């Protein structure tokens, strides 16, 4: 009897300890594309972050609201009257190949990002003039005209630290070597990247998964089918799929990113040189109606390019500066000498959702007598034609913001901005921009952003549509998913999988 | 025979060169600029111009083609503009998936098509024939992506018998390989099977009226022998011809089917590359696909010699 009791007790203890030691689950994520490169210096798309973040820890980690938090730097302060950024680095961290992480490694990385031929990060680091190693644990970055925008930038690709020993590895694009919580154990081009946890990683709350499998499934329906049939744990959806996902019993969250949908008007083309015409078109479009009908509420109507609640969003300027008012649109057109409207051509990304948005905008403009000739084309073609060659009057699409709002507005509103095809700008915008970069203090920067955004809204560069909430669906095994992510996608911080 | 083979090989090589030149020249007519994509989302105009120069996109088209062809002759298809990986590696990683899908779909199409075609011919103008002919018409008319979606809904989601997406290599798990490919292969095979059915039916009906079949039957040979030995062998030329044509149909259809079933084959790669204007990859895939179809055509031509010895001379 005693023996029996002992056996039962032993079995009970064993089962409890097995339950306690249940290994962390692997997260199987469905994504739309494979990575362009796993070397952050060569990665061309914001969509690569989902593949890069597990491997590469950044200098700082950005919170939900875009606030910098310690990651590889534990402390930072602005020096040289805002022209220097002094970073104190985390001690005892090693890259995945065993190379120690120190100030030399930071200098090597930032110099590589800003000078290497073919680096896609040169533009965002153009403000940096030199990187000085003070000692093994401290490094100072010097900027030409203020380091204000630099800190958040170091939460993105330019802050991703690659082992300097691996810089010359010919296979860095497929076998990344970072200082992050996971390492790539399998890379199948265009199909799947598998990550396994790194032993001895310093921050356990950033390493709660037993592993990660990111599968590239370009077709929207296929991604949802894979989630429904249990082959995936999590994926993002298009708004029209939300009902199907809900009906299938999946959990849903609207992932706040930094994408803003808008219609661009080249002020050097068609009748767009006249601000009254640009404003008339704004009044003619029912932004609220579009977000509710086409985007099922997964987009908040906004004329402002920066997301509400983050640095740079102008609180003193209305979110919708130009509400739906076709009568006012007609009046403005008449004032501009176009009582019978006019005709212009526009290109739209050949992605079904954008084509639909374009068609609705087209119909609404027709109501006030304006004829928009809409042509759908692949994304690179549209970007090349509208932004590159400035060969199209208008554009229907989106803007994927940079992690630092200064970079986002520079691209949209400065004469040097790629996403500003007419190169139109005003002294107010340029002065305010200089202040957003110059000042290291967020409060000071915010003041400058208020001025800048107000002026940009008065200039009416775009027909703003909405701030995107990407619907993310996941099954019951995935826990602690939050609605916010500073980047377009999430960095898996704190996410667990329990099967 | 040797000379015939040599002539065919020379024609194949000439076609490959012609196709590659055509694709190269088509690219220069399509608007869009890979440098904009490659320079990244935060690039300035100077960055884009520098990228264009690095890629050699400023060079004249003819020079770019000659450079590429020279390297291709040495087995170097260049590197992807976007991942920087060798094109041969990018294609090599995906080719087994597409080849597996094509082979399986072709096998299913052959078995279904020959069986249904012979059955219809033997029951000419009766119920089985009419049913098969109607089904074949429907089969030809149905778009394969739609069939694929129906199969996913029915046999992967409602009745979870097969996985909805994904691929497992044959070498690591043969049963898993078959399970993952079963639905897309069936979906892909229906249209070619329907086409084969119609052609085989017509061919068998014609052969059944030929004198040698009548003579064999009159000799008292069992019906099974007449059909199996005389009729089927004579439909061989039809089957080989139709199957050869259907390989290109299957290859085209596989692009869609791989999307629907999330198979990491050449389909998604070609779509991505065309959209992003990743010319080296597009070139590579066109070259490999053309080679595949030309090899199939060659095999079909050579098979005529087996099915019809008169062709050998």
Helix/strand/coil (H/E/C) assignment for every residue in A86-144: EEEECCCCECCCCCECCHHHHHHHHHHHHHCCCCCCCCCCCCEEEEEEEECCEEEEEEC
Nearest to B37 by CA among B52, B26, B54, B19: B52
Give which of B40, B84, B171, B264 to mutate to test A binding, by max A Cβ within 10 Å.
B40
The DSSP output letter for A474 is E
The reply to whether residue B30 touches residue A381, judged by beta carbons under 8 angstroms, is yes
* pLDDT at residue number A99: 96
* pLDDT at residue number A483: 66
Interface check for B240 against chain A (CB to CB < 8 A): the answer is: no
Confidence of residue B226 (pLDDT cuts 50, 70, 90): confident
Whether the predicted pLDDT of B92 surpasses 70: yes
Q: How far apart are CA A35 and CA A124, in angstroms?
A: 20
Q: How far apart are CA A69 and CA A60, in angstroms?
A: 6
Instruction: Provide the 10 A C-beta neighbour count for residue A198.
Output: 19
Which one of A45, A226, A378 has the shortest CB-CB distance to B262?
A226
∠ at Cα A210 (A206, A212), nearest 5°?
A: 80
Give which of B83, B93, B256 to mutate to test A binding, by max A Cβ within 10 Å.
B83
- Ramachandran class of A254: left when φ > 0, alpha when ψ lies in -120 to 50, beta otherwise: beta
Q: How far apart are CA B42 and CA B33, in angstroms?
A: 16
Cβ-based burial of B275 (10 A; exposed 0-12, middle 13-18, buried ≥19): middle
Confidence of residue B42 (pLDDT cuts 50, 70, 90): low
Interface check for B30 against chain A (CB to CB < 8 A): the answer is: yes
DSSP β-bridge partners for residue A212:
A27, A195
Give which of B81, B262, B269, B282 to mutate to test A binding, by max A Cβ within 10 Å.
B262
Walking along chain A (499 residues) 10 residues at a time, the average pLDDT comes out as 49 44 84 86 81 95 83 94 94 96 97 88 86 96 88 92 94 93 88 92 91 89 91 90 92 83 96 96 96 90 92 95 96 96 92 90 97 86 81 91 86 89 94 89 93 97 92 91 58 85
CB A321 within 8 Å of CB A489: no
Residue of B nearest to A38 (CA): B83
* pLDDT at residue number A53: 92
Which of chain B's residues have a Cβ under 8 Å away from the Cβ of A117?
50, 54
* pLDDT at residue number B31: 62
Residues contacting B34, CB < 8 A, separation 6+: A380, B55, B57, B81, B82, B276, B277, B278, B279
Which of chain A's residues have a Cβ under 8 Å away from the Cβ of B89?
189
Residue carrying structure tokens 């082992």: A163
Percentage with pLDDT > 90 across chain A: 62
Q: How far apart are CA A415 and CA A395, in angstroms?
A: 18
Whether the predicted pLDDT of B157 surpasses 90: no
At B196-208, the pLDDT tens digits run 999 999 999 999 8
The reply to whether residue A380 touches residue B32, judged by beta carbons under 8 angstroms, is yes
In what helix (H) or strand (E) does residue A236 lie, and over which residues does it extend? strand A234-236
Instruction: Provide the 10 A C-beta neighbour count for residue A377.
Output: 20
Nearest to B113 by CA among B242, B280, B227: B242
* pLDDT at residue number A427: 96
Q: How far apart are CA A365 and CA A341, in angstroms?
A: 9
Interface check for B272 against chain A (CB to CB < 8 A): the answer is: yes
Instruction: Provide the 10 A C-beta neighbour count for residue B41.
Output: 23
Of A457-471, B145-159, B225-239, B293-307, where does the model show the most confidence?
Answer: A457-471
The reply to whether residue B47 touches residue A122, judged by beta carbons under 8 angstroms, is yes
The reply to whether residue A189 touches residue B48, judged by beta carbons under 8 angstroms, is no
* pLDDT at residue number A431: 95
SS3 A396: strand
- Ramachandran class of A82: left when φ > 0, alpha when ψ lies in -120 to 50, beta otherwise: left
* pLDDT at residue number A353: 86
Nearest to A378 by CA among A344, A347, A357: A347
* pLDDT at residue number A22: 63
Residues contacting A440, CB < 8 A, separation 6+: A78, A82, A85, A146, A147, A148, A151
Q: How far apart are CA A461 and CA A272, in angstroms?
A: 9
Provide the pairing of β-strand A60-62 with A68-70.
antiparallel
Provide the pairing of β-strand A211-216 with A192-197.
antiparallel
Task: Supply the DSSP string of B233-273, one letter for each residue.
Answer: HHHHHHHHHHHHHHHHHHHHHHHHHHHHTT--SHHHHHHHH
DSSP β-bridge partners for residue A349:
A377
At B93-117, the pLDDT tens digits run 899 999 999 999 999 999 999 999 9
Residue of A nearest to B33 (CA): A384
Give which of A115, A173, A189 to mutate to test B binding, by max B Cβ within 10 Å.
A189
* pLDDT at residue number A448: 96
Q: How far apart are CA A330 and CA A284, in angstroms?
A: 8
Q: How far apart are CA A246 and CA A249, in angstroms?
A: 5
Q: How far apart are CA A196 and CA B132, in angstroms?
A: 53
Which of chain A's residues have a Cβ under 8 Å away from the Cβ of B34?
380
pTM above 0.95, yes or no: no
In what helix (H) or strand (E) does residue A347 lie, and over which residues does it extend? strand A343-349
- Ramachandran class of A241: left when φ > 0, alpha when ψ lies in -120 to 50, beta otherwise: alpha
Sheet architecture: strand order including A84-89: A73-79, A84-89, A138-143, A128-135
Q: How far apart are CA B277 and CA B270, in angstroms?
A: 10
Q: How far apart are CA A408 and CA A390, in angstroms?
A: 20
Cα-to-chain-centroid distance, residue A330: 37
Per-chain mean pLDDT for chain B: 86
* pLDDT at residue number B77: 86
* pLDDT at residue number A484: 59
Which of chain B's residues have a Cβ under 8 Å away from the Cβ of A42?
84
SS3 B204: helix
At A388-401, the pLDDT tens digits run 778 899 999 998 88
The DSSP output letter for B310 is G
Q: How far apart are CA B17 and CA B72, in angstroms?
A: 11
The reply to whether residue B149 touches residue A221, judged by beta carbons under 8 angstroms, is yes
* pLDDT at residue number B229: 82
SS3 A85: strand
Q: What is the dihedral of CA A70, A75, A79, A81, to 10 degrees?
A: 50
**How many CB pairs (< 8 A) connect A and B?**
156
* pLDDT at residue number A387: 85
Whether the predicted pLDDT of B38 surpasses 50: yes
CB B141 within 8 Å of CB B222: no
Q: How far apart are CA B102 and CA B247, in angstroms?
A: 8
Q: How far apart are CA A257 and CA A410, in angstroms?
A: 19
CB B284 within 8 Å of CB B77: yes
* pLDDT at residue number A15: 43
Instruction: Provide the 10 A C-beta neighbour count for residue A468.
Output: 25
């Amino acid at each position: 009897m005693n023996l029996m009791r002992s056996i039962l007790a032993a079995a009970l203890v064993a089962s409890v300890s097995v339950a306690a030691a249940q290994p962390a689950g692997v997260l199987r994520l469905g994504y739309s594309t494979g990575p362009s490169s796993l070397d952050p210096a060569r990665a061309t798309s914001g969509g690569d972050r989902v593949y890069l973040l597990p491997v590469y820890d950044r200098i700082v980690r950005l919170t939900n609201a875009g606030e910098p938090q310690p990651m590889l730097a534990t402390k930072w302060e602005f020096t040289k009257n805002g022209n220097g950024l002094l970073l104190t680095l985390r001690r005892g961290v090693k890259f995945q190949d065993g190379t120690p992480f120190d100030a030399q490694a930071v200098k090597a990385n930032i110099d590589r990002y800003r000078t290497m031929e073919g680096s896609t990060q040169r533009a965002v680091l153009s403000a940096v003039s030199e990187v000085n190693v003070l000692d093994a644990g401290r490094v100072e970055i010097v900027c030409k005209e203020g380091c204000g925008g630099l800190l958040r930038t170091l939460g993105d690709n330019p802050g991703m630290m690659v082992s300097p020993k691996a810089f010359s590895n010919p296979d860095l694009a497929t076998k990344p070597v970072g200082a992050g919580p996971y390492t790539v154990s399998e890379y199948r081009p265009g199909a799947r990247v598998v990550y396994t946890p790194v032993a001895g990683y310093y921050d356990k709350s950033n390493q709660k998964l037993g592993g990660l499998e990111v599968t590239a499934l370009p077709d929207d329906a296929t991604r949802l089918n894979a989630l429904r049939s249990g082959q995936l744990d999590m994926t993002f959806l298009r708004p029209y799929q939300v009902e199907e996902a809900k009906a299938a019993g999946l959990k849903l969250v609207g992932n706040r990113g930094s994408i803003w949908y808008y219609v661009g008007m080249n002020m050097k083309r068609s009748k767009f040189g006249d601000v009254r015409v640009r404003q008339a078109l704004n009044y003619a479009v029912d932004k609220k109606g579009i977000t509710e009908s086409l985007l099922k509420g997964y987009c908040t109507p906004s004329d402002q390019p920066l997301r509400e609640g983050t640095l740079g969003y102008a609180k003193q300027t209305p979110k919708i500066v130009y509400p739906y008012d076709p009568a006012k649109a007609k009046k403005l057109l008449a004032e501009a000498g176009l009582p019978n409207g006019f005709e212009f051509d526009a290109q739209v990304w050949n992605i079904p959702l954008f084509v639909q948005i374009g068609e609705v905008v087209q119909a609404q403009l027709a109501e006030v007598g304006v004829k928009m000739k809409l042509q759908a084309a692949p994304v690179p073609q549209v970007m090349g034609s509208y932004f590159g060659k400035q060969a199209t009057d208008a554009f229907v699409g989106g803007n994927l913001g940079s992690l630092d709002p200064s970079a986002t507005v520079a691209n949209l509103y400065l004469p040097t901005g790629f996403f500003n095809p007419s190169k139109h700008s005003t002294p107010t915008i340029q002065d305010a921009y200089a202040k957003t970069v110059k000042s290291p203090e967020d409060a000071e920067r915010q003041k400058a952003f208020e001025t800048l955004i107000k002026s940009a809204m008065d200039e009416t560069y775009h027909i703003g549509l909405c701030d995107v909430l990407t619907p993310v669906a996941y099954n019951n095994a995935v826990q602690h998913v939050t609605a916010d992510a500073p980047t377009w996608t999430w960095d898996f911080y704190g996410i667990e999988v329990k099967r | 025979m040797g000379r015939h083979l040599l002539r065919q090989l020379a024609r194949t090589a000439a076609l490959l060169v012609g196709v590659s030149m055509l694709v190269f020249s088509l690219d220069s007519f399509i608007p869009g600029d890979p440098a904009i994509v490659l320079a990244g989302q935060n690039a300035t105009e100077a960055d884009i111009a520098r990228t264009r120069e690095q890629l050699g996109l400023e060079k004249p088209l003819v020079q770019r083609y000659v450079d590429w062809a020279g390297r291709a002759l040495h087995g170097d298809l260049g590197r992807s503009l976007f991942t920087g990986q060798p094109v041969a590696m990018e294609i090599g990683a995906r080719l087994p998936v597409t080849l597996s899908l094509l082979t399986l779909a072709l096998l299913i199409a052959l078995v279904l098509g020959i069986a249904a075609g012979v059955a219809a011919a033997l029951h000419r103008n009766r119920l089985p024939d009419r049913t098969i002919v109607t089904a074949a018409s429907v089969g030809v008319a149905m778009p394969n992506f739609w069939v694929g979606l129906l199969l996913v809904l029915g046999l992967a989601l409602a009745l979870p018998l097969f996985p909805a997406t994904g691929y497992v290599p044959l070498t690591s798990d043969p049963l898993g390989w078959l399970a993952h490919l079963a639905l897309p292969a069936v979906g892909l095979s229906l249209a070619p099977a329907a086409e084969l059915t119609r052609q085989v039916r017509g061919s068998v009906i014609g052969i059944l009226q030929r004198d040698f079949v009548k003579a064999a039957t009159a000799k008292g040979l069992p019906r099974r022998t007449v059909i199996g030995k005389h009729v089927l062998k004579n439909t061989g030329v039809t089957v080989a011809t139709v199957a050869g044509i259907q390989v290109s149909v299957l290859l085209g259809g596989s692009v869609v089917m791989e999307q629907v079933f999330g198979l990491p084959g050449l389909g998604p790669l070609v779509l991505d590359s065309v959209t992003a204007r990743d010319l080296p990859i597009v070139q590579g895939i066109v070259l490999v696909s053309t080679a595949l179809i030309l090899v199939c055509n060659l095999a079909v031509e050579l098979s005529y010699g087996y099915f019809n010895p008169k062709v050998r001379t």
